[in-house]
A = this chain, B = another copy of it.
């Protein structure tokens, strides 16, 4: 029975699940360890058997989230080749995307959309965690850098996967302060906010699940095109 690491202990998972629920409801500071224990149905002291303190629970959750996002990126990178099928990626010339031809541009949009879609669905699935991450990231003196770790796709984010080419590509791209800025406020923050406010919005506006997501993706499609246009503009300014 080597599945010692695999099961991670049922109790520990119950603690993590309860923590997610409560942190998402009340924030990290608003939820108490006692509550978590009660909801998880475990003894309070057991929490300190598995985690060195309350903050360590949060850290553990965020690390899981980081890893799952890394996984999405890695999976996507590995499948990219077949998505591209023949077409080439745009060249990056001084931070400006240069496409070989119109078809290459459409192909680029298509695979970017595919990635975005995958990401959005994953974020929705993890929306409670996203909510927690946003709450804690907004506090100014939070030492937490998790949101920014994700936002900036730091190199250590990607292990030895064969997606190095893409990462290098993105890194060069992100190197432009303006691009990083754009992606943070106009791409990452909206996706995260969408996930974070998902339940609240649905409850208040009574939207159907599928409808909401489709709508969101449609807009992102438009925004992607507007980004490409913006990119050519700022690149022009830089040159």
Q: Which residues of A line the B interface, CB within 8 A?
A: 24-27, 29-30, 131, 134-135, 137-141, 148, 177-178, 180-182, 184-186, 189-190, 193-194, 196-197, 199-201, 204-205, 207, 212, 215-216, 218-219, 222-223, 225-226, 229-230
Contact = CB atoms under 8 A, between A and B. Distances in A.
The oligomer's copy count stands at 4
A96 to B, nearest CB: 16
A30 to B, nearest CB: 4
A222 B227 CA distance: 8
Contacts of A135: 27, 135, 138-139
A219 B186 contact: yes
Contacts of A148: 200, 204
5 contacts: A24-B139, A135-B139, A184-B201, A185-B201, A223-B223
B222 A230 contact: yes
A27 B24 contact: no
A221 to B, nearest CB: 9
B193 A25 contact: no
Contact of A194 (B134, B185, B218, B219): B185
